[in-house]
Amino acid sequence: MAGLNVSRKPAPLDVIDMNQRSFASAEFALKKKRTRREKFLADMERVVPWARLIAIVEPLYPKSGRVGRPPIGVSKMLRMYCLQQWYGLADEALEDALYDSQALRDFVGVDLSRESVPDATTLLKFRRLLNENDLTRSLFSEISAHLSEQGLLMRAGTIVDATIIAAPSSTKNEKKERDPDMHQAKKGNQWHFGMKAHIGVDADSGLVHTVIGTSANINDVTQAGALLHGQEQDAFGDAGYRGVQKREEAQGPTWHVAMQPGKRRQLDARSPWAMMLERVEQLKASVRAKVEHPFHVIKNLFGHRKTRYKGMAKNEAQLFSLFGLANLVIAKRSLLNLHARGVS
């Protein structure tokens, strides 16, 4: 036996790699702690109306991929696009994150033992498809329709507001100029360069039903009429919307606009009339507070504090995606409850 030479042919590298990846996936699945990212993605898997959104994109999606490669499914690309909005990642950064994170790969549906992650160029082309065909607006409308069907978008009242989203002010670029679609605006004692996101929010649920993007120097009150859907009986706005009742395009609902802070400070706190006015202002403020939640979601949770692209069209298209997904985050608890009761 000592002289018997037994040799074993080494396994092919691709088999070893597949086994390693399979063991890694199994180890990930068996880990004890569930991260916040995994919980969030699991919730989004359940509350996003994937079939309805895919049906919006699929008719315009290419039916064939690169030469010799099957096309990447709409579902994978749409999920990648949503991840990009939720985590504020550039195309290349998202590609790297998918290679790094098993949780993200599971959400998208990528198995590295059989396929590679769709690259940054593929995601860029998908985003261009959405922008050029105004599909982000359609996706936003489809999400709103879904929420309305679930009884979450009541449409009895509207809150209007706007927030400034900064844009790069540097001129250290190829054309040596700032984005011509962006402008400066003064807020308080500080100047801001960028754009404004104007939104109309359902006064009952706090969900966004209308989105408009403009340059930062556009006065809020000029967009108030366009933020109404026409079915509301009451509309609410902060002091920046004073005079809105006189604008022809904003006629219809009863407007409840906040008193100017200076006039409010001049009220005699001991006067019964002043006390009543103060109570009215507090009630109006409690309603208007709901409009801050969507801004909080896109700026603080999604990290969208600065424009990512050049030009108003691309940035407004992204706003539709961001606020549509923000609506699902805001309505998440209600949607999960409906899902648990078997309501589709």
Integer Cα distance of 110 and 118 in angstroms: 9
- Phi, then psi, of 183 in degrees rounded to 5: -140, 170
Nearest to 238 by CA among 201, 186, 195: 201
* Confidence bin at 30 (pLDDT 50/70/90): low
Q: pLDDT for 36-69, tens place per residue? A: 999 999 999 999 999 999 999 999 998 876 555 6
Nearest to 208 by CA among 326, 314, 118, 342: 326
Tokens of 21: 């990846």
Element (H, E) at 192: strand 190-202
- Number of Cβ atoms within 10 Å of the Cβ of 102: 18
Q: What is the mean pLDDT of residues 267-290?
A: 87
Integer Cα distance of 171 and 228 in angstroms: 37
**Is the model's pLDDT at 24 over the cut of 50?**
yes
- Please give the pLDDT value at position 177: 83
Task: Give the distance from CA 291 to its chain's centroid.
Answer: 15
Integer Cα distance of 292 and 297 in angstroms: 9
**Is the model's pLDDT at 19 over the cut of 60?**
no
Between helices 50-57 and 74-87, what is the axis angle to 10°?
110
Tokens of 69: 């490669």
Integer Cα distance of 141 and 327 in angstroms: 11
Question: Is pLDDT larger for residue 30 or for residue 35?
Answer: 35
Nearest to 255 by CA among 213, 287, 278, 279: 287
Nearest to 240 by CA among 164, 139, 317: 164
Question: Is pLDDT larger for residue 9 or for residue 209?
Answer: 209
214 DSSP 8-state letter: E
Q: What is the mean pLDDT of residues 249-270?
A: 87
